[in-house]
Chain A
Amino acid sequence: MKIHEYQGKEILRKFNVPVPEGKVALNSEDAVKIAKEDIGGNVWVVKAQIHAGGRGKGGGVKVAKSLDEVKQFSDEILGMNLVTHQTGPAGKIVKRLLIEQGMNISRELYVGITLDRTSSKNVVMVSTEGGMEIEKVAAETPEKIVKETIEPELGLLPYQARKLAFSMGLIGQQHKKAVKFLTALYNTYTQSDCSLAEINPLVVTAEGDVVALDAKMNFDDNALFRHKDILEYRDIDEEEPLEVEASKYNLNYIKLDGNVGCMVNGAGLAMATMDIIKLAGGEPANFLDVGGAANKTTVANGFKIILSDPNVKAILINIFGGIVRCDRVAQGVIDAANEMDINIPIVVRLEGTNAKEAKVLLNNSELNFEVAGTLKEAAEKVTAILKK
């Protein structure tokens, strides 16, 4: 799960990770009030809150030098369609702002914590190249990223934190502050079940403080059951509406740009089905894993989601019945299609337990199904239909 920057900073604050003074605002009046009463001072930053990076370049982050400017920038940014390299060309409408105290930045650094899948351990990474895309730094100047692998039973050890802080070129009080910062960030990461905690940039201020200027925090979905507080940070405005709808039915759906809707059981087979549609000359409209229980309700909900996408011109159902019997799935498909009055062609491929009985059911249903035997045949049939 992803959260907003201001929510990430609320969590960081709880774990004593230094962040700038700031608060979320939903309108420009509140923004001014927060700047004046909660923060004070005479420089503020108005930051668009969307679940994507690159906000500054897209015009979603502005420095205000008066309360009038706070109001002006807030009005400009709220409601704007912010397009960044991470939002895609469609962009995201800004609905929330973070109003923050302005900082005297002397250096911009980077720190990130995530899982290293190769060692199956967490790694803490730091770099002197803050404020840049870390993927770019990793590709072009990998020597500028310093990593420490964390032994799970030991945690981040003091010498590791010291080493990381030194490698960012920090000495004296700043070094001490950075060590404290890294330790607190690591505690936030482990105790909140983060899958990513990235501070980019981590800044050293002119006054010598070490502060998280930005915060990107992702969480392990599997662990959210033990973090009810974090679950409350979910902002479904930031998610694809069809995916939110699908998740209510316990369907795993991801919208794509093609025109062949797919309904499959199992994530690997669902990806393979998308791949073979493309190989046969079509374009998949979605990833949809209906899971183990492909009954009438599941199939009907699947149809509903797929058909909500106006680009879909044909549907391919590919179910490998193991524990779930194909004849039951076929009956579910027939019942759902009967009830829903579907006007586009449906290719059905059911393989596995009772596949023959399923074929008979589908062929006798008087509905307009194209029944396919193999995966290849299914993909070819669906693309042939589209070419007609």
Chain B
Amino acid sequence: MSIIVDKDTRLVVQGITGNEGSFHTEQIVEYKTNVVAGVTPGKGGTDLNGIPVYNTVENAVREQNANTSIIFVPPPFAADAILEAASAGIKVIICITEGIPIADMIKVYNSIKKKDIILIGPNCPGVISPGQAKVGIMPAFIHKEGTIGVISRSGTLTYEAVKQLTDVGLGQSTCVGIGGDPIVGSKFIDIIKLFNEDPDTEGIVMIGEIGGSTEEEAAEYIKENVKKPVVTFIAGRTAPPGRRMGHAGAIISGGKGTAGEKMKVMSEAGIHVVESPAEMGNTMLSVLNNN
């Protein structure tokens, strides 16, 4: 009933002894996610509430069979942390860190792309498969087990969508925050493919925003390949051009990447585009009821 993370997830937390890392590890453990190890260079041999800490991801993989990593390492060192996880054989890498230089991510993205690895983020809330595993920083209690896949470039706006879905009785298979940076490991299209192939996902809520063209690329794929209903909201209709709206990736440049343009392309692809961010949940409900 899910993609990317599930009951088989064996998680290693990179940066586990930092403020963010230790705080969120506690929350992740509370959700009964299988946290098998932590990594902080120089603190190998210690533990955090019984979770063994290693100096390297390689050791965590060898000793604890970790298969998934979540990264809370500070921005100057985060790109290196992603590459370390990749080289240690981790297949799912989820990077929460905000503020990684673009030049670092250009190298990371193009190096990872050639391997059989799923990188989520950076600058994202992570991934949760309700009832199975939480590998992120999202508030767990708004989620509910179910069949809707949620994918988004933002954090709190995803929570808003999830809350709306849960309130109308629609649970989620998996919720994926892909991140708000110009370069992210997985784009909309990559996750839409996974949801499309997941037999237990019946509908997809996709939350886009201004900047770039990943929404349009996903629309083209959806038009050709996806029979499951897709509901979309695009944030930033009122955003002025040339200004970075918080997320490094949310910027209208050279007249491109506007919300209006994205909404048009997505409607033409047969996607249910909602004008208001308050209508994501009930639109999905009525679309499913009419099918």
| Contacts from A to B (Cβ < 8 Å) | 86, 115, 117-118, 120-122, 134-135, 138, 151-153, 190, 193, 195, 220-223, 225-226, 252, 254, 256, 264-279, 284, 287, 289, 320-323, 351-353, 374-376, 379
Contacts and interface: CB of A to CB of B under 8 A. Distances in A.
Nearest to A122: B106
Interface in B221-256: 233, 235-240, 242-243, 245-250, 254-255
A271 B138 contact: no
A306 to B, nearest CB: 16
Interface string B145-165: 000000011111111100100
A154 to B, nearest CB: 11
Interface stretch (B36-44, B49-57, B96-104): B96-104
Given A268-B247, A271-B245, 15 more contacts: A122-B106, A226-B101, A266-B246, A267-B247, A268-B154, A268-B157, A271-B246, A272-B233, A276-B278, A320-B160, A322-B137, A322-B156, A351-B163, A375-B277, A379-B278
B139 A266 contact: no
A271 B239 contact: yes
B207 interface: yes
A134 B109 CA distance: 28
Given A220-B102, A252-B246, A352-B142, A269 B156 contact: yes
Nearest to B98: A222
Interface stretch (B8-16, B82-90, B210-218): B210-218
Contacts, number: 167
B180 A222 contact: no
A254 B137 CA distance: 26
Nearest to B103: A193
Contacts of A115: 102, 106, 182-183
Interface of B: 27, 75-76, 99-107, 109-111, 137-139, 141-142, 152-160, 163, 180, 182-183, 207, 209-210, 212-214, 217, 233, 235-240, 242-243, 245-250, 254-255, 259, 275-279
A276 B159 CA distance: 17
A242 to B, nearest CB: 13
A374 B278 contact: yes
B151 to A, nearest CB: 12
Contacts of B142: 322, 352
Given A115-B106, A268-B247, A193 B101 contact: yes
Contact of A223 (B102, B157, B207): B102
Contact of A278 (B76, B158, B180, B238): B238
A266 to B, nearest CB: 3
B207 A268 contact: yes
A275 B236 contact: yes
A6 to B, nearest CB: 22
Nearest to B257: A117
Nearest to A139: B255
B272 to A, nearest CB: 17
A276 B277 contact: yes
5 contacts: A118-B217, A222-B75, A225-B75, A272-B235, A320-B159
B110 A269 contact: no
Nearest to A376: B278
Nearest to B113: A120
A322 B159 contact: yes
A34 B139 CA distance: 61
A268 B153 CA distance: 8
Contacts of A287: 239, 245-246
A220 B103 contact: yes
Contacts of B207: 268
- In the A-B complex, list the 7 residue pairs whose CB atoms are closest, starting with the nearest: A268-B154, A267-B246, A266-B156, A322-B139, A268-B157, A223-B101, A376-B278
Contacts of B247: 267-268
Contacts of A277: 238
B159 A225 contact: no
A375 B76 contact: no
A25 B107 CA distance: 40
A152 B157 contact: no
Contact of A274 (B109, B156, B238): B238
A275 B237 contact: yes
A351 B254 contact: no
Nearest to A324: B139
Contacts of A271: 157, 209-210, 235-236, 238-239, 245-246, 250
Nearest to B100: A222
A1 to B, nearest CB: 11
Contacts of B217: 118
Contacts of B101: 193, 220, 222-223, 226
B102 A268 contact: no
Given A254-B245, A270-B246, A375 B160 contact: yes
B139 to A, nearest CB: 3
Nearest to B233: A272
Nearest to A380: B278
Nearest to A135: B254
A225 B109 contact: no
